[in-house]
Structure 1
């Protein structure tokens, strides 16, 4: 069957063996992919094999993967992600793959928008005969205010009409950027109802999350908020060198403070010596009480590695490592997972 993106959530209760997601709106396409994956996981599809299909892509690896049963006989999702519409040769390969699908494999194909003629092509019909085609349409300009209101409401926010107008003006049709703005408002606005001045203050250029807010969130042990802030900072294209240097310095200071507490100094003496402002004293005290000296030593060592990643002298994912260091500073017990 062929459905619209907004019908997917209700239709997914009856999981198809194959899905074709077609559209040119990146955010809605990603969310449709997430919806299919989540439904598949609930029904036991625990493996996921992803293939990014380009012009020179070799489909033999997909067929080989389809023929290889999992060592543990687990169900799997096979994803084909096309950056352009499939050419004739690729269409034939998709038809062959569909004909060879076994019951333990779910096929998820994503591609740019297909027009009416292309939707009637043989490969789409082959997929649709045993699956679902999801058409993802962009949000029209007149629909954008209502789309923003619904998104905000789902995030627990109520936007005034003026606030919605500000977001509409900023979006310029970029739904992903608008979603990120709403996410920032959710994290930073304490009031349930948000007006235009709050929107402008929160999302204005050069007035977004700063490193000190990020560190305080981590030291408070707010895992979800810290993770989301990292994601948004990364999405904005922020260069991590200065961010990392500040986190590294904070970790070293906390190590020194922890050492002095270990030597018998009182918390008030340590806070005074390191000139901790009164509005942060409770935060710092909590972090020092949660995290023992030995762990601070390991955190500082890990931050040293992070600093080298940020400066390019070592290879690795600087954002993942930054998140790990921040979570550890907040007292999260994740050493087995990250070491």
Structure 2
């Protein structure tokens, strides 16, 4: 069945389904919904978790093995299938259909995807999973609704803000919900039980870290390799973690990939940027990036981002900071042999 994000918590209280499919292009909302499922499972005795990363050569063998294996630490477990592309492939699709046909009562399958296109939502695996459990599609928050979303977040944390302050905060984060969430939590240090005003937001902005992730991404899009690498070192020295930085790069690369695909199909760049909901203030640097990054280069960057994700989670011996430095160098349009 299809349910909305705001219905998920209530559904989990009523019944724990054998499979949950979360898909969309909003990392923060995906993360929060996944946390809802994990907490509900934990409350019902699912004390272990297997994580499976779906790549191009996914055959489903890991899913079969995880479903049949007995955990050493708990009687029940979550099988977490992370599939950024939303495309399991032929063998993977069959594995998902087979799993849903005979799910283990001791397991809950949590499938986490990026954006799944309409055509893929009509596929057999998607329909089968949705019929057996629940699918939640996380829609982007558009510019018109973002102020209301921010206000709701502030209220949930016991804060209130005047309309001008909310508008300023919405302009600052430019539609990035993860950035908005970070800014809202930062405002807790300044609010002191008072209504948040424009002055409060400005004070928080003035006290921001010297090196910030958004400035780093902008430097990458503009092709400023030296500035980008310098910002990366600054973020590292300030104690930031790779797994906190990477999601914003992944989001940006997916947008660039979608834009490059449409441009390759013959669509004008201005229409493409509009279709992808690129904010007016970011259209200039996005155009710069698309002029220097080919579709194959962007694909290579997405693959590298996946390598960084696995490294940051301890699934490979590679140094995640070194890999992130390589990603930034390539994203600015340089080659590693020249820049490093």
Q: 1:56 to 1:193 in 2, by over 3 A?
A: same
Corresponding position of 2:77: 76
What is the CA-CA distance between 1:163 and the residue it aligns to? 0.6
Number of aligned residues: 221
Corresponding position of 1:20: 21
Matched, 1:109 2:111: yes
What is the CA-CA distance between 1:66 and the residue it aligns to? 1.4
Matched, 1:168 2:164: no
Matched, 1:67 2:68: yes
Q: 1:2 to 1:187 in 2, by over 3 A?
A: same
Please list every run of at least 4 consecutive aligned residues from structure 1 whose deviation after the TM superposition is greater than 6 angstroms. 315-318
Listed as ranges, the gaps of 5+ residues in structure 2 are 211-231, 241-317, 322-340
Superposed CA offset, 1:75-105 (max 9, x none): 1000001121213332122112223421000
Superposed CA offset, 1:220-251 (max 9, x none): xxxxxxxxxxxxxxxx985344779xxxxxxx
Corresponding position of 2:158: 156
Distance 1:92 1:76 in 2: 22
What is the CA-CA distance between 1:61 and the residue it aligns to? 2.3
Superposed CA offset, 1:22-55 (max 9, x none): 1111111111111111111111111111112111
> Partner of 2:34: helix, strand, or coil?
helix
Q: Are the counterparts in 2 of residues 156 and 186 from structure 1 also a CA contact under 8 Å?
A: no
5 Å-filtered alignment, 1:1-339, equals: 1-13=1-13, 14-71=15-72, 74-86=75-87, 87-204=89-206, 207-208=207-208, 238-241=234-237
> Partner of 1:142: helix, strand, or coil?
coil
Distance 1:238 1:127 in 2: 44
Superposed CA offset, 1:256-315 (max 9, x none): xxxxxxxxxxxxxxxxxxxxxxxxxxxxxxxxxxxxxxxxxxxxxxxxxxxxxxxxxxx9
TM-score by length of 1: 0.60
Distance 2:235 2:73 in 1: 42
What is the CA-CA distance between 1:11 and the residue it aligns to? 1.5
Q: Are the counterparts in 2 of residues 5 and 137 from structure 1 also a CA contact under 8 Å?
A: no
Q: 1:89 to 1:162 in 2, by over 3 A?
A: same
> Partner of 2:145: helix, strand, or coil?
helix
> Partner of 1:187: helix, strand, or coil?
helix
Q: Are the counterparts in 2 of residues 149 and 164 from structure 1 also a CA contact under 8 Å?
A: yes
Distance 2:185 2:168 in 1: 15
Q: 1:188 to 1:56 in 2, by over 3 A?
A: farther
TM-score by length of 2: 0.60
Listed as ranges, the gaps of 5+ residues in structure 1 are 211-235, 245-314, 319-339
Q: 1:115 to 1:185 in 2, by over 3 A?
A: same
> Partner of 1:96: helix, strand, or coil?
helix
Q: Are the counterparts in 2 of residues 47 and 75 from structure 1 also a CA contact under 8 Å?
A: yes
Q: Are the counterparts in 1 of residues 190 and 200 from structure 2 also a CA contact under 8 Å?
A: no
Distance 2:144 2:182 in 1: 20
